[in-house]
Chains A and B, each alone.
Chain A
């Protein structure tokens, strides 16, 4: 079945440093979504990427979808303590499928 691998599993950064998490799928994806889960909280939708090579920005966050639609990345510039949490990617192989396959997530810690 479809697998979505996400690395790294953990990342500790000094406040102000950049952070990147990578997501790789075993199959071509129709779209990929990113979610953030704060400690003790629930996953919250950040963004969806659909097109090959798509790049989207949200303030300090930059999301990319690979040309082959099998990988994606989330880059945070100049991390802040409010960025702490676990970032999940979730992909689907088909637009008609109910199944969103989540990666294991990258847990980000920011040292003040």
Chain B
């Protein structure tokens, strides 16, 4: 059981679709993250939010658009994705944004772009 909940767990979308991934954390943390995990690359940090403010954007293409309406919720809006964007997208949270904080991951959203 995780204190970070992600929906949907599985998503199949066409390249012209618009969809969103949702994340909610129940841990009272102040920082939230989006990571991408694919078979060929290590876990890649996409975005970091601290107290609803985006503090890091790791050169992610604009077809990925994050939104953090409050410290408990995080969205990843997806539009005009490419097949190579198919991956496991992991949401995570931590007490603070510093690297010394333990990161708690959600179960992930498996995305397939067709």
**Does B66 count as interface, using CB distance less than 8 angstroms?**
no
Total number of B residues with any Cβ neighbor in A under 8 Å: 23
Chain A residues within an 8 Å CB radius of B34 = none
Among A31, A43, A50, A103: residue with most chain B CB under 10 A: A43
From known contacts A102-B43, A103-B42, A104-B42, infer whether A31 and B102 are also in contact, taking CB-CB under 8 Å.
no
From known contacts A42-B90, A88-B43, A105-B42, infer whether A98 and B56 are also in contact, taking CB-CB under 8 Å.
yes
**Does B48 count as interface, using CB distance less than 8 angstroms?**
yes
**Does B61 count as interface, using CB distance less than 8 angstroms?**
no
Nearest chain-B residue to A104 (Cβ)?
A: B42
**Does B17 count as interface, using CB distance less than 8 angstroms?**
no
Chain B residues within an 8 Å CB radius of A48 = 100, 102
Contact of A95 among B42, B43, B100, B108 (CB under 8 A): B100
Chain A residues within an 8 Å CB radius of B56 = 98-99
Whether B43 contacts A98 by the Cβ 8 Å rule is: no
Chain A residues within an 8 Å CB radius of B45 = 98-100
Whether A45 contacts B107 by the Cβ 8 Å rule is: no
Whether B107 contacts A30 by the Cβ 8 Å rule is: no
- CA distance in complex: A88, B35 (Å): 14
- CA distance in complex: A30, B98 (Å): 11
How distant is A81 from chain B, measured CB to nearest CB, in Å?
22
Contact of B55 among A30, A95, A98 (CB under 8 A): A98
Whether A31 contacts B105 by the Cβ 8 Å rule is: no
**Does A25 count as interface, using CB distance less than 8 angstroms?**
no
How distant is B41 from chain A, measured CB to nearest CB, in Å?
8
**Does B62 count as interface, using CB distance less than 8 angstroms?**
no
From known contacts A42-B2, A44-B105, infer whether A98 and B100 are also in contact, taking CB-CB under 8 Å.
no
B residues with a Cβ closer than 8 A to A are 2, 31, 41-43, 45, 48, 50, 55-56, 58, 90, 97-100, 102-108
